[in-house]
Amino acid sequence: MRVNPNSFNPILGYKLDPGEPGLAHSAPASMSIIRVLNQEISNYLAFKKEAIKKGGFIISGGIFLDLRRRGGFLAAVAGKTKVWMYIPGRKSRDTVDEEDHNNVDRQEEAKSQIKNRIDELKLKMENTTDPVERERLQREITLLELALNSFKASLELPQFLIGALIDTLA
């Protein structure tokens, strides 16, 4: 009995959803899972990039493949990417309200706490002679300066991250 290669490993055609970036390439059934998974990972990364651009992050998500037997293989005939993003509610940049002022006040308070902690650590570093302790203090100062520079560069670190950083160094 002879096996027809075209029926054992058929070529599967794919189409993209409207507005979905990428190219709709065909793939043999044996390579279909890799082909569809590659497209869905690209979609996931695009969603992640969009969330980061908007100042948010992905809470949860997943890639789902529709697997069916095609020829002699289990093949991916379709795929879907779902994500749930958290983007902090913000007003348009033209309007400023109490919440925006409170956020600015909290950022200023966090900056001053970081600056005070850096000054304390520099003072401790001047008074210690132990090289191990000096190295530990220098690491802490570097981490705090990194957090401080993130404010200056308008990189908004989540408040819990700044708080955790300060708590671990205190």
DSSP states of 60-100 as a string?
EEEEEEEEEEETTEEEEEEEEEEEEEE------TT---HHH
Residue 109 confidence (pLDDT): 73
Cα dist. 35→8, 63, 90 in Å?
18, 13, 38
**Do 109 and 60 fall within a single domain?**
no
- Judge contact between 79 and 37, C-beta under 8 A: yes
- Judge contact between 150 and 114, C-beta under 8 A: no
Instruction: State the burial class of residue 91 (Cβ atoms within 10 Å of its Cβ: 0-12, 13-18, 19+).
Output: exposed
Residue 73 confidence (pLDDT): 92
Q: Which residues contact 159 (CB under 8 A, 6 or more apart)?
A: 106, 110
**Do 134 and 61 fall within a single domain?**
no
Question: CB neighbours (10 Å) of residue 111?
Answer: 15
Q: Which two tokens stand for residue 20?
A: 């979905």
* Cα–Cα dist 78/66, whole Å: 5
**Do 24 and 63 fall within a single domain?**
yes
**Do 116 and 77 fall within a single domain?**
no
**Do 48 and 112 fall within a single domain?**
no
pLDDT digit string (tens) for the chain, length 170 residues: 676 777 888 989 888 888 787 778 889 999 999 999 999 998 898 888 888 888 888 888 889 999 999 989 999 999 999 988 887 774 433 333 334 444 556 667 777 888 888 888 888 888 888 888 888 888 888 888 877 776 655 445 555 555 555 555 54
Q: Which of 86, 106, 136 is the last residue of a domain?
A: 86
- Residue 31 inside a domain? The answer is yes
Residue 52 confidence (pLDDT): 86
**Do 130 and 74 fall within a single domain?**
no
**Do 156 and 114 fall within a single domain?**
yes
What is the 8-class DSSP label of residue 18? T
Residue 64 confidence (pLDDT): 92
pTM > 0.85: no
Q: Which of 53, 86, 119 is the last residue of a domain?
A: 86
- Residue 93 inside a domain? The answer is no
* Cα–Cα dist 153/100, whole Å: 18
Residue 36 confidence (pLDDT): 92
Residue 69 confidence (pLDDT): 94
Residue 107 confidence (pLDDT): 67
Q: Which helix (H) or strand (E) holds 27?
A: strand 27-28
Domain count, the chain: 2
Domain housing 129: 98-169
Q: Is the dihedral of CA 158, 160, 165, 166 positive or negative?
A: positive
Q: Which helix (H) or strand (E) holds 58?
A: strand 57-70
